[in-house]
Amino acid sequence: MGFRPSDEFASPERSFASVSTAGHLPTRGRALSQRSIALGTLALSMFLLALFVVADPARAFVGGKDFEPGQVVVKLNPTIGASIEEINADYGSTTLDKLPGSDGIYLLETPAGSDTQGVVGRLVDDPRLLYAEPNFVAEAAEDHAGDGRHNAWGISETSGYSEDYAASALGLPCAAIASLGQDTTVAVVDTGAQLDHPALEENFEGVARYDFVDNDRNPMERAVGLDADGDGLKDELVGHGTHVAGIVDRVAAAAEIMPLRVLNSEGSGNIFTIAKAISYAQSNGADVINLSLGSSRRSATLQGVIEDAVKSDVVVAAAAGNSNSPLPHYPAAGNGTAASADGLVAVTAVDMYSKKSDYANYGTWVDIAAPGNGIRSTFPVGMYANWSGTSMATPFISGQAALIHAVYGSLDSAGIETKIRRSAQSLALQNLTYVGMLGAGEANACASLQ
């Protein structure tokens, strides 16, 4: 709060969805209002184009770009004591933004017509800076559906929101006896959310929020006719943040949810905007931060703000990505080394048979696995959808962290992750090809509370 967010954006973990009309929320037992039903019916026509054609998962970045052209992120070296004005004077750059609460991290615009990578190369060698990097683009982790198309929508069946295989696999009915995540706050850094969804409005009520895309305090998901990747499909990721928030609610129904919009309706954005949202979440009382997004590029900026968050005992759960690859996916992979209980939880996905989802990334850097296939959750407007991806697995872990925090409030972020890892069920027998590469196993919320 008290700063002007950048108007650039980063992208979420991509997924696919089939939408069902709203009924009621079994977890909370609240009936859907007639007004919401009417809105849901009207919304079908509004969202028809957005529901849902999935882009080729091999495409790493929206619009084919690795970074925002003409933008670099730098961090001043405090032992030298140079000012950002000196840096700008020497390189012809201008300051676009400063990371709030940081020790000299700035977003700069390079001179018109300059080569961004060339400028970064010169800045990296400047001893007055600790680092310089392009403002990398990030994306939401999503599953793919054969030929890349999945557009089943308008299904009237709404059962399974709290009773599908995921609830059983995670031991959610048992966990709910011990904890509902009361007195905890989970920040969902994503495409925003439907703030008045009947299943979620109580979770959002009175909680800090921000839209870092449109620079206001209304992070409502919206379809704006955007086709950032030029594939002819508009607003492909509308509903992603609402779906992720609904999964958090499924696990921790009493937790507050902090919606932070960093991704546009195509699910695209950049690391500086995501870093600002993480800093905002930490400063505004988040106990857990959910990042259903990522990139193949490691960012010193993003890694730094996440390290600051976990040092403040905030658990950060991040999606492992959906390229069916062992290559590190960031920020989930941290510094790219073997997984450890450090408060940053890299989450991959398994199916209803506890087998690695065919799209899910894997490797020694993964911390934990959770259900990620055909997960039913909330969706605009007052509706529900089935969606798949490590984006969906990650909020199960964020919700689990909230449950643990509510019961064991004295644990730090590493201690909460340790409980998540030690209570996991082995996946070795179901995944002989991936032994040691799916983290500690499949999460079990019930066992982690005992």
Task: Tell me the pLDDT tens digit for each residue of 361-389.
Answer: 999 999 999 999 999 999 999 999 999 99
Whether 50 has a pLDDT exceeding 50, the answer reads no
Neighbours of 162 (CB within 10 A): 21
3-state per-residue secondary structure call for the chain: CCCCCCCCCECECCCEEEEECCCEECCCCEECCHHHHHHHHHHHHHHHHHCCECCCCCCCCHHHCCEEEEEEEEEECCCCCCCHHHHHHHHCCEEEEECCCCCCEEEEECCCCCCHHHHHHHHHCCCCEEEEEEEEEEECCCCCCCCCECCCEEECCCCCCCCCHHHHHHCHHHHHHHCCCCCCEEEEEECCECCCCCCCHHHHCCCCCEECCCCECCCECCCCCCCCCCCCCCCCCCCHHHHHHHHHHHHCCCCEEEEEECECCCCEEEHHHHHHHHHHHHHCCCCEEEECEEECCCCHHHHHHHHHHHHCCCEEEEECCCCCCCCCCECCCCCCCCCCCCCEEEEEEECCCCCECCCCCCCCCCCEEEECCCEEEEECCCEEEEEECHHHHHHHHHHHHHHHHHHCCCCCHHHHHHHHHHCCECCCCCCHHHCCCCCCCECCHHHHCC
More confident residue, 25 or 185: 185
- Report the percentage of the chain scoring pLDDT > 70: 81
Residue 238's pLDDT band (cuts 50, 70, 90): very high
Tens-place pLDDT, residues 57-96 = 222 333 447 999 999 999 999 999 999 999 999 999 999 9
| pLDDT (average), residues 122-145 | 87
What tokens were used for 82? 């140079």
What are the residues whose beta carbons fall under 8 Å from the beta carbon of 205, sequence distance 6 or more?
none
Tens-place pLDDT, residues 197-207 = 999 999 999 99
| Alpha carbon distances (Å) from 179 to 141, 254, 298, 369 | 29, 9, 35, 21
Whether 8 has a pLDDT exceeding 50, the answer reads no
pLDDT of residue 231: 78
Active site (catalytic) residues? 190, 240, 391
Any idea where the domains of the chain sit in the sequence? 16-61+141-448, 62-137
Order of strands, edge to edge, in the sheet holding 210-211?
210-211, 256-261, 185-190, 288-291, 315-319, 344-350, 368-371
Whether 417 has a pLDDT exceeding 80, the answer reads yes
pLDDT of residue 162: 65
Whether 252 has a pLDDT exceeding 70, the answer reads yes
* Alpha-carbon gap, residue 439 to 50, rounded angstroms: 34
Whether 271 has a pLDDT exceeding 90, the answer reads yes
Q: Are 357 and 92 within 8 A, CB to CB?
A: no
Whether 32 has a pLDDT exceeding 90, the answer reads no
Q: Are 383 and 439 within 8 A, CB to CB?
A: no
Whether 119 has a pLDDT exceeding 60, the answer reads yes
Pick the CATH number of 62-137 from 3.40.50.300, 2.160.20.10, 3.50.20.10, 3.30.70.80: 3.30.70.80
pLDDT of residue 383: 93
Lowest mean pLDDT among 222-226, 308-312, 432-436: 222-226
Lowest mean pLDDT among 174-183, 199-208, 222-231, 345-354: 222-231
Measured in degrees and rounded to the nearest 5, phi and psi for residue 57 equal -65, -15
Whether 149 has a pLDDT exceeding 70, the answer reads no
Return the C-alpha torsion angle 298, 271, 370, 400, nearest 10: 120
Q: What is the mean pLDDT of the chain?
A: 85
Whether 3 has a pLDDT exceeding 50, the answer reads no
pLDDT of residue 414: 98
Whether 341 has a pLDDT exceeding 70, the answer reads yes
pLDDT of residue 46: 38
Q: Provide the CATH topology of domain 16-61+141-448.
A: Rossmann fold (3.40.50)
Measured in degrees and rounded to the nearest 5, phi and psi for residue 217 equal -100, 30
Tens-place pLDDT, residues 154-212 = 343 455 666 689 999 999 999 999 999 999 999 999 999 999 999 999 999 999 999 99
Q: What is the pTM assigned to this prediction?
A: 0.86
pLDDT of residue 340: 87
Q: Are 348 and 294 within 8 A, CB to CB?
A: no
More confident residue, 411 or 3: 411
Q: Are 176 and 245 within 8 A, CB to CB?
A: no
* Phi-psi category of residue 160: left, alpha or beta, with phi > 0 → left and psi -120 to 50 → alpha: left
Whether 5 has a pLDDT exceeding 60, the answer reads no
